[in-house]
Amino acid sequence: MKTRLALQADSGALAFLGILNWLLATALFIALMLATGAAQAASPVCSGQDLVAQLYDSDPQLHADIMAQAAETENGDNLLWRVEKADGTAEPSFLFGTMHVTDPRVVDLPEAVRTAFDASGTVVIESTDVLDQAAMMAALAANPELTMFTDATTLRSLIPADDLPMVEATLRARGLPLSTINRMKPWMVAAIVALPSCEFERKTAGEPILDLLIAQQAQSSGKELAGLETVTDQLGAMASLPMDLHVEGLVETLRLGDKIDDVLETMVTLYRSERIGMFWPFFRAVLPSGEAGAGYADFEEIMINTRNRNMAASAEPFLQEGSAFIAVGALHLPGPEGLVALLRDAGYTVTPEPL
């Protein structure tokens, strides 16, 4: 029977999970940069396995621990929420948790979500910058230090000597020789190589992630479209994380190889069953303790909690007006510092809508 430590070892210590979460939390602009072609006739099929389901057989105690923690997670079992002003002076709005992927199982919205979307007058996503590639490139050009090294630092100089041969060989095999990306910040490289091949192929073929699809449908139906933050906000938050965490995430992502397919499959499975409260317990269970754990705490505070507070404040005008459909990454919904709890603290009545 596998132990907790064995699971960690099998997954290359899984420090890369922070990087994968960065994708899920802020990958809107990455998706746009990769969307360069025409959609394929047939979408690639992912081949990963559900790690939580495997734990049920391989480590029942760890599985039970994760389930217990998930059950205690506040607002962790719903993707769609009705948001109403306490005085009833505006039409109800809806808050929906997304996943920033192209997986057909994710982009096929449940009927209840479609109904809430159709009833809305305004659609709000994390950032509308993803709809304007020229504006996106201009933002990147205006803030090169967020994605590239602008001093003497290079990617090669940051990678531990013992890991350098593996990193160079793996990047070369993926068509990304280190010499060609040596000035790129490690999180940018990790965000690209962390995508399973099926997801990468769909994105480069032009298939939209769920958030982009929602935005496109809002535009085509004549709804007002707005964003809660800018791509510069997202990049700034990412760049503020400790460089050691960036480097470790890149190394562990490359070391993991095809096993990242299993992590994406696990998250898609949890998402589709609305078990978003299980994300964090699962991550914490398989992440090693020590420096990686501390670094992941930095990620959670900067990339999730701080952004939650900012997005809740930005959502206020739309909620006050009412009839808004607000779609943000599902990781932003649960927990005592999640958007559902923050909106309740702000005086709104927030109730789950069954899918």
Q: How far apart are CA 330 and CA 327, in angstroms?
A: 9
CA distance 271 to 278: 9
Average the pLDDT over each of 103-107, 202-206, 341-345 and give the range with the smallest value.
202-206
Given the DSSP bridges, would you call strands 224-227 and 122-125 parallel, antiparallel or unpaired?
parallel
pLDDT attached to residue 198: 84
Rg (CA), the chain: 20
Task: Please give the Cα distance from 201 to 206 (Å, whole number).
Answer: 9
Is the Cβ–Cβ distance between 182 and 156 less than 8 Å?
yes
Q: For residues 22 and 35, what is the distance between their CA atoms, to the nearest angstrom?
A: 18
Q: Is the pTM of this model over 0.75?
A: yes
3-state secondary structure of 122: strand
Please compute, for residue 44, the number of CA atoms within 13 A of its CA located in the half-sphere on the CB side: 17
Token pair in block for residue 350: 């927030």
Closest CA to 193 of 10, 23, 6: 23
- Alpha helices in 159-196, H assignment, sequence order: 164-173, 186-193
> Mean per-residue pLDDT for 196-219?
87
* Overall average pLDDT of the 189-209 stretch: 81
324 Ramachandran zone, left/alpha/beta (phi>0; psi -120 to 50): beta
How much is the mean pLDDT over the chain?
83
Would the pLDDT of 299 be above 80? Answer: no
pLDDT attached to residue 12: 33
SS3 of residue 310 by DSSP: helix
- Ranking 20-29, 204-213, 327-336 by mean pLDDT, the lowest is 20-29
3-state secondary structure of 205: coil
Residue whose C-alpha is closest to residue 177's, from 167, 185, 187: 167
CB 127 within 8 A of CB 231: yes
pLDDT value for 289: 43
DSSP-based three-state secondary structure for 326: strand
**Amino acid identity, residue 37?**
G
What single-letter DSSP state applies at residue 322? -
**Which residue bears the tokens 């979307």?**
117
Predicted pLDDT at 288: 47
The Cα 237–Cα 231 span in angstroms is: 10
The helix, strand and coil proportions of the chain, stated in percent and rounded to the nearest 5, come to 60, 10, 30
With a CB cutoff of 8 Å and minimum separation 6, the contacts of 125 are 28, 211, 214, 215, 225, 226, 227, 228, 326, 327, 328
The answer to whether the CB of 327 falls within 8 A of the CB of 98 is yes
Q: What is the mean pLDDT of residues 161-172?
A: 94
Cβ pair 231, 28 in contact under 8 A: yes
Does 342 or 281 have the greater pLDDT score?
Answer: 342
Token representation of residue 335? 């927990």
pLDDT at 327 over 70: yes
Q: Report the percentage of the chain scoring pLDDT > 70.
A: 84
Please tell me the total number of residues recorded for the chain in this structure: 355
Is the pLDDT at 112 greater than 80? The verdict is yes
Q: Are 197 and 265 in contact (CB under 8 A)?
A: no
Q: Establish how many alpha carbons lie within 13 A of residue 189's alpha carbon, considering only the half-sphere containing its beta carbon.
A: 33
- Round to the nearest angstrom and report the end-to-end CA distance of the chain: 36
| Mean pLDDT in residue range 216-231 | 94
Query: Within 13 Å, how many C-alpha atoms sit on residue 147's CB side?
Result: 21
